[in-house]
Amino acid sequence: VLGPLLFNHSLVVYGSFALVPLVALLIQQTHFGLRLRAVGEDPDAAMALGVDPVRTRWQALLVCGVLAGFGGAQLVLASLGVFTENVTSGRGFIALAAVIFGRWKPGWTAAAVVLFAAADAFQVRAQVLGLGVPYQLLVALPYLVTLAALAGLIKNMRPPSALGRPVTHR
């Protein structure tokens, strides 16, 4: 049981497990992480300290784009084996929900991803087993779990103060 579970994945999967502590270390223990957190909380204060918020945001965006590209490659090449239109099926919403549910912390976000992935894996297995549940309900299960998780904890969430706020001056 453990052999296929642990040793039957692509390098991207193993790399993603290694990335969680590396990203946590990057955000909490490096100058870039300190600048990134400062820009996320108050870009004007970061600018007063000599940090360019626009540059820092672009750097973070580029890193996120590379990681999203690896995720998309994993989904298409290793999981499905073929590209089809709408291959992600709204998984971007689930990824965003995982970040929110994980309170913008890498470790908690990884735990949220595992929770949502377990719901997705369960719906696939349940369809194969023929449990007598309409397949439409099973396909919606990961999204329902995501909504339930967010609805239960959204009042306790505190996003970065400057999330989505443009930098007013340079």
* Per-residue confidence (pLDDT) for residue 63, from 0 to 100: 94
Tell me the per-residue pLDDT of 54-86, one tens digit each, with 9 for 90 and over: 999 999 999 999 998 988 888 888 767 777 888
Give whole-number Cα distances, 85 to 40, 57, 90, in Å.
34, 30, 12
On whether the pTM is more than 0.95, the answer is: no
**C-beta of residue 76 within 8 angstroms of C-beta of residue 82:** yes
How crowded is residue 73: how many other Cβ atoms within 10 Å of its Cβ?
Answer: 13
Q: Are 113 and 60 in contact (CB under 8 A)?
A: no
